[in-house]
């Protein structure tokens, strides 16, 4: 009995350690992905400075510009989330196919919804700075840039 308790405790400790390690990798991946989205959006703002200036000159408010770039960032992240879930499902199906009865893929709709919500939040959090920068552009200065 003591031997089986010892084995059970070791398995629980190993499982907890693996969960912590995978969680840390996931958080780091989300941060790196978010920084990538932020960089893409900053480049987009820089490349579209004149477009932003024209929109502001014809009456677009700062909130309109902010909203446009936030929506773009969220769409990029949601698209990434969709591709990630599809890739995970595809790899899971491959494992199921080649492993036979020894591997059964189990997926959770709740986890998929959580992934989409998380990707949306990453888009909002990391897209806010570029969107704010775009909204704060001076229309005259933006139109004079080339």
* 40 belongs to a structural domain: yes
Domain annotation covers residue 7: no
Residue 120 falls within a domain, yes or no? Answer: yes
Domain tally, the chain: 1
Compute the mean pLDDT over every residue in the chain, rounded to the nearest whole number.
92
Residue 130 within a domain: yes
Does the residue 15 lie in any domain?
Answer: no
Neighbours of 39 (CB within 10 A): 12
pTM: 0.82
| 28 assigned to some structural domain | no
Q: What is the span of the domain harbouring residue 118?
A: 33-144
Q: Is the pLDDT of residue 146 over 80?
A: no
Give the per-residue pLDDT at 141.
86
- CA 80, CA 62: separation in Å to the nearest integer? 27
- Does any domain span residue 6? no
């Amino acid at each position: 009995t003591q031997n089986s308790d010892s084995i059970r405790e070791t398995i629980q400790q190993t499982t907890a350690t693996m969960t912590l390690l995978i969680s840390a990798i996931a958080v780091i991946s989300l941060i790196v992905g978010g920084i990538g989205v932020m960089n893409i959006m900053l480049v987009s703002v820089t490349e579209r400075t004149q477009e932003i200036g024209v929109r502001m000159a014809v009456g677009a408010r700062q909130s309109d510009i902010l909203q446009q770039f936030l929506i773009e960032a969220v769409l990029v992240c949601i698209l990434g989330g969709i591709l990630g879930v599809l890739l995970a499902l595809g790899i899971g199906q491959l494992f199921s196919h080649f492993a036979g009865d020894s591997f059964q893929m189990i997926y959770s709709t709740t986890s998929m919804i959580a992934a989409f919500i998380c990707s949306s939040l990453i888009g909002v959090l990391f897209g806010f700075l570029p969107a704010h920068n775009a909204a704060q552009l001076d229309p005259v200065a933006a139109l004079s840039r080339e």
